[in-house]
Amino acid sequence: MQFKKLSVCLAACAALAAHAQVSDDVVKIGVLNDLSGIYSDLSGQGSVAAARLAIEEMGGKVLGKPIELVFADHQNKPDVAANLARGWFDQGKVDMVTDFPTASTALAVMEIAKQKNRIVMPSSGLATAILGEKCNALTAQWTTNTYALAAGTARALVKEGKKSWYFITADYTFGHSLEKDASEVIAAGGGKVVGSSRHPFPGGDFSSFLLKAQSSGADVIALANAGNDTVNAIKQANEYGITRKQVVAPLLAYISDVHSIGLEKAQGMYLSEAFYWDFDDRSRAWSKKFFEKQKRMPTAAQAGVYSATLNYLKAVQAAGTDEAKAVMAQLRKMTIDDAVIRHGKLREDGALVHDMLLLQVKAPAESKAPWDYYKVKTVLKGADVYPAISPACQAAAK
């Protein structure tokens, strides 16, 4: 009987090996991001290090084949991103691309990936347009999106009685998306938007926009931008004394931004995040590994690259192939629960719905160690903060 069981097991294993298919005998992952510009601090080489940690966790192989990593600087330009991705898919045989700190670059690559039957997993490309009419079955917006970010922060402030809002918005896809999504949340909570200004991307001098926002008398000056733009706007708001009378609310701020601003100027700010290194034992253990490589704690974008890479590779292993449609089908079957993403399920529109965190920046006296920057106010359930599936996406899928 034991020999019979063994022979059945060997036959099943042989059948699995026969069906396991890896194109070009290598699984290749690409990190496409900003290595030198405004978003290099929140993604950059840290995202590359995060992807390497995921590959190391898999033992450097999947289905018995080696895993390779490539990376490049898209310079926050959609045409550069598109050309790099096309070369990766055609000559480099890259199977999956992740990161994209500028949403417009993700949108540019998504269409090419669809044509080439490759997977795109934006970790820091957050515009909800990725889930709208441009959605496709081979894209997974992994870490979060502008609606989920706005829902956490805007709802918290509106509930505190901050009803009137003025937006300072980066004038490109991501900024527009963040302002639109936050405005919907504000209106639903009984608040109102009293004005907005759009600044060039990247920005530099925010004085004229801040003075307009100050003169509006709005309870909240909402920053619909990211990276160095957010850092510079908050620093200048402090210089003008605006933060003493009005709340300056960054709708997307990474821990790297708070590190640059300093707790003295950032204290008290609310923000929503997909990940905080000091949330629990799992997040701390992984972040310690990242810190050993980078000498700083990971941003949510960088942690998202780790999670996207790890779960992509797990899906390849489970599917027995790196063929894109099969891998995506496997990802949608999985519950995503790792050191970064909790209770995640990948929807048909490409949204990875999972728990988020509402955070508040600590005062300097409350911080007990380097990078001890946040108080976790509450865990935001994914079902409560993620947008419904877009009718535009449903129409595009038909």
Does position 13 have pLDDT exceeding 50, yes or no? no
For residue 16, being part of any structural domain is answered with no
Which pLDDT does position 272 carry in this prediction?
Answer: 95
Q: Which of 219, 213, 238, 212 is nearest to 157 (CA)?
A: 219
pLDDT digits (tens, 9 = 90+) for 242-261: 988 899 999 999 999 999 99
Does position 146 have pLDDT exceeding 80, yes or no? yes
Mean per-residue pLDDT, 205-217: 96
8 A C-beta contact, residue 247 and residue 162: yes
Sorting pLDDT into bands at 50, 70 and 90, what band is 395?
confident
CATH code, domain with 342: 3.40.50.2300
Give dist(CA 219, CA 385) in Å, integer.
Answer: 23
Give dist(CA 122, CA 42) in Å, integer.
Answer: 14
Q: What is the pTM of this model?
A: 0.91
Residues 232 and 360 in one domain: yes
Residues 225 and 372 in one domain: yes
Which pLDDT does position 202 carry in this prediction?
Answer: 83
Averaged pLDDT score across all residues of the chain? 93
Q: Is the dihedral of CA 120, 123, 124, 130 positive or negative?
A: positive
Does position 12 have pLDDT exceeding 60, yes or no? no
For residue 255, being part of any structural domain is answered with yes
Q: Tokens in use for 122?
A: 């934006």
For residue 341, being part of any structural domain is answered with yes
Which pLDDT does position 133 carry in this prediction?
Answer: 86
Which pLDDT does position 396 carry in this prediction?
Answer: 76
Give dist(CA 394, CA 363) in Å, integer.
Answer: 45
Residues 235 and 365 in one domain: yes
For residue 2, being part of any structural domain is answered with no
Q: What is the DSSP string of 145-173?
A: -HHHHHHHHHHHHHHTT--EEEEEEESSH
List the domain range (segments joined by +) for residue 160: 147-273+356-385
Sorting pLDDT into bands at 50, 70 and 90, what band is 394?
confident
Give dist(CA 396, CA 335) in Å, integer.
Answer: 26
Residues 36 and 129 in one domain: yes
Structural domain count, the chain: 2
Q: Which of 170, 177, 193, 95 is nearest to 144 (CA)?
A: 177
Which pLDDT does position 398 carry in this prediction?
Answer: 64
Residues 225 and 362 in one domain: yes
Residues 35 and 61 in one domain: yes
Q: Tokens in use for 328?
A: 């995506």
Query: Which residues lie below 8 Å from residue 46, measured CB to CB, with a gap of 6+?
Result: 290, 294, 296, 298, 299, 302
Does position 141 have pLDDT exceeding 90, yes or no? yes
Which pLDDT does position 2 carry in this prediction?
Answer: 39
Work out the burial of residue 30: count CB atoms within 10 Å of its CB; fewer than 13 is exposed, 13-18 middle, 19 or more buried.
buried
Give dist(CA 146, CA 163) in Å, integer.
Answer: 20
Residues 200 and 307 in one domain: no
Mean per-residue pLDDT, 182-198: 96
Residues 60 and 112 in one domain: yes
Which pLDDT does position 243 carry in this prediction?
Answer: 86
Residues 96 and 55 in one domain: yes
Mean per-residue pLDDT, 227-238: 94
The last residue of one of the domains, among 315, 339, 354, is 354
For residue 394, being part of any structural domain is answered with no
pLDDT digits (tens, 9 = 90+) for 53-85: 999 999 999 999 999 999 999 999 999 999 999
For residue 361, being part of any structural domain is answered with yes
Which pLDDT does position 10 carry in this prediction?
Answer: 39
Give dist(CA 386, CA 174) in Å, integer.
Answer: 17
For residue 393, being part of any structural domain is answered with no
Residues 248 and 360 in one domain: yes
Residues 38 and 139 in one domain: yes
pLDDT digits (tens, 9 = 90+) for 278-327: 999 999 999 999 999 999 999 999 999 999 999 999 999 999 999 999 99
Longest dimension (CA), the chain: 84
Residues 61 and 77 in one domain: yes
For residue 395, being part of any structural domain is answered with no
